């Protein structure tokens, strides 16, 4: 295991040495390394007034799901922004958004006045990559910080997961596992950042598709002090229970006409639909949804106003 870690550090070292050759001497120490204050400035987070941030007009993304934005805004009200925005400083003292427009818009809805952000003081991509590489060598980084650094490489340097893995001297699956942590609910991400739970716990939780199930087992971990093995066992049991619950019960086949109706409803609503029809002529239609966003979509299609 130690040999593998040494190999990774050697690969990382080669990447840093090749980049350092093209970095301005003013940014390096006499030993030839990047100055600590440069690394801190490039990778550190500052809070910036929302009113001082301008959206990049060249951003190709134009459409944002309003329901999803409102859900994110509700989360931000409770937990603040977990993943900082990235901005560059403009000549007029304002900032231009580089990455994180969805978070930026949701922060406005949430009523925030300032947000955490990485500040790109330069357009030099080599400097950013070098600062991220050096920052990732810190031993006190938690798994979420590592994941955010990988995400910045992909967002701001247009790297693929394979390229991030190559730069870091890691397996692609390792990079993928870190990035998956950013899909966990904010409560769990914060726990990882505070080292309240380990990456092993988080990796077990990410295997559950349902957020409620993730939060339920997270609560079990924190209240009962479950170790990673116990957490993995509980996740497997939870998944088995769900699989058993969704197994279709034995029932008579629907007549072809009603089966077509069931299929057409499923296509129309974009979700699983169960139609039950008895010989007496009565029956029921069940629509499944797996998130508030999906529920709102179904309500819109039904023209149901809940306000």
By annotation, the residues acting in catalysis are 101
Instruction: Compute the residue count for the chain.
Output: 307
The DSSP bridge pattern shows strands 273-277 and 95-99 to be: unpaired
Q: How far apart are CA 117 and CA 181, in angstroms?
A: 20
Q: How far apart are CA 156 and CA 88, in angstroms?
A: 11
Cβ atoms of residues 16 and 133 within 8 Å: yes
DSSP state of 291: S
Q: Give the residue from 15, 34, 50 showing the smallest Cα distance to 122.
A: 34
Give residue 162's Cα distance to chain centre: 18
Residue 61 neighbours by CB under 8 Å, 6+ apart: 101
Give the count of alpha carbons within 13 A of 89, CB side only.
11
Q: How far is CA 49 from CA 46, 54, 114, in A?
A: 10, 11, 4
Burial class (CB in 10 A: 0-12, 13-18, 19+), 2: exposed
């Amino acid at each position: 295991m130690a040999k593998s870690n040494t190999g990774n550090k050697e690969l990382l070292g080669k990447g840093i040495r090749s980049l350092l050759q093209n970095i301005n001497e003013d940014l390096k120490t006499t030993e030839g390394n990047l100055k600590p204050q440069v690394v801190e400035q490039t990778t550190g987070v500052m809070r910036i007034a929302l009113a001082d941030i301008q959206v990049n007009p060249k951003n190709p993304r134009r459409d944002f799901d309003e329901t999803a934005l409102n859900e994110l805004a509700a989360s931000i009200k409770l937990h603040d922004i977990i993943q900082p925005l990235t901005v560059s400083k403009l000549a007029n003292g304002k900032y231009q958004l580089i990455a994180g427009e969805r978070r930026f818009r949701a922060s406005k809805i949430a009523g925030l006045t300032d947000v955490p952000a990485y500040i790109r003081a330069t357009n030099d991509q080599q400097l950013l990559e070098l600062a991220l590489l050096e920052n990732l060598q810190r031993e006190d980084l938690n798994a979420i910080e590592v994941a955010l650094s990988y995400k910045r490489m992909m967002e701001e340097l247009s790297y693929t997961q394979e390229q991030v893995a190559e730069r870091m001297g890691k397996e692609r699956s390792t990079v993928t596992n870190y990035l998956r942590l950013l899909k966990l609910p904010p409560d769990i991400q914060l726990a990882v950042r505070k080292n309240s739970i380990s990456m092993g716990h988080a990796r077990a939780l990410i295997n559950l598709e349902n957020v409620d199930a993730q939060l339920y087992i997270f609560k079990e971990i924190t209240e009962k002090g479950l170790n990673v093995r116990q957490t993995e066992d509980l996740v497997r049991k939870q998944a088995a229970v769900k699989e058993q619950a969704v197994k279709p019960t034995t029932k008579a086949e629907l007549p072809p006409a009603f089966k077509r109706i069931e299929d057409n409803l499923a296509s129309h609503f974009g979700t699983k639909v169960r139609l039950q029809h008895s010989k007496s002529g009565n029956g029921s239609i069940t629509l499944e949804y797996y998130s508030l966003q999906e529920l709102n979509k179904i309500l819109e299609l039904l023209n149901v106003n809940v306000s």
